[in-house]
């Protein structure tokens, strides 16, 4: 079996919300997910997360740290998750052939967008940095 290229996902938190995109082509039961895409040959996972965020959402981000990686239970692909901070730009659908819509999602809304739950290190990070009130 040929190993598919790894996928890099960007966990972008800004103004108390996390950036999510809804893909045009659904993988498994995935509809909403973090900006993500294939890691190109010779490219670091963090670089791919930054590039894919810009390509899909028009937002320029900087990689902060790698949260971890896993074989995704829905797609069987190796996915790495990188915390990124917004450097500039306004979020919009920048790749309409890939992304249908995007949303800044509050902590309390995450399960509506991702009902099957998140990768534990991602969930722990979001629990730490997002809150729904005082």
**pLDDT reported for residue 25:** 74
Handedness of CA 123, 125, 126, 127 (dihedral sign): positive
| CATH assignment at residue 13 | 3.90.79.10
**pLDDT reported for residue 1:** 43
1: in domain = no
**pLDDT reported for residue 28:** 61
**pLDDT reported for residue 34:** 96
Structure tokens at 92: 């919009």
132: in domain = no
Strand bridging mode 78-88 / 36-38: unpaired
96: in domain = yes
Q: Are 87 and 118 in contact (CB under 8 A)?
A: no
Q: What is the pLDDT of residues 9-47, one digit of tens each?
A: 999 999 999 999 998 876 665 589 999 999 999 999 999
Residue 48, domain extent: 7-127
* Summary mean pLDDT of the chain: 91
134: in domain = no
For the chain, what is the domain count?
Answer: 1
**pLDDT reported for residue 75:** 81
123: in domain = yes
37: in domain = yes
Tokens 């005082």 belong to which residue? Answer: 134
Structure tokens at 62: 């900087």
**pLDDT reported for residue 2:** 45
pTM: 0.91
């Amino acid at each position: 079996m040929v190993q598919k290229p790894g996928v890099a996902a960007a966990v972008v938190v800004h103004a108390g919300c996390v950036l999510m995109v809804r893909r045009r082509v659904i993988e498994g039961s995935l509809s909403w997910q973090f900006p993500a895409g294939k890691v190109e040959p010779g490219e670091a996972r963090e670089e791919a997360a930054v590039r894919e965020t810009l390509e899909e959402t028009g937002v320029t981000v900087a990689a902060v740290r790698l949260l971890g990686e896993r074989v995704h239970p829905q797609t069987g692909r190796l996915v790495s998750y990188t915390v990124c901070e917004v450097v500039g730009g306004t979020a919009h659908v920048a790749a309409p052939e890939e992304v249908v819509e995007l949303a800044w999602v509050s902590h309390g809304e995450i399960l509506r967008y991702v009902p099957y739950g998140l990768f534990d290190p991602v969930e722990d990070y979001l629990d730490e940095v997002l809150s729904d009130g005082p």
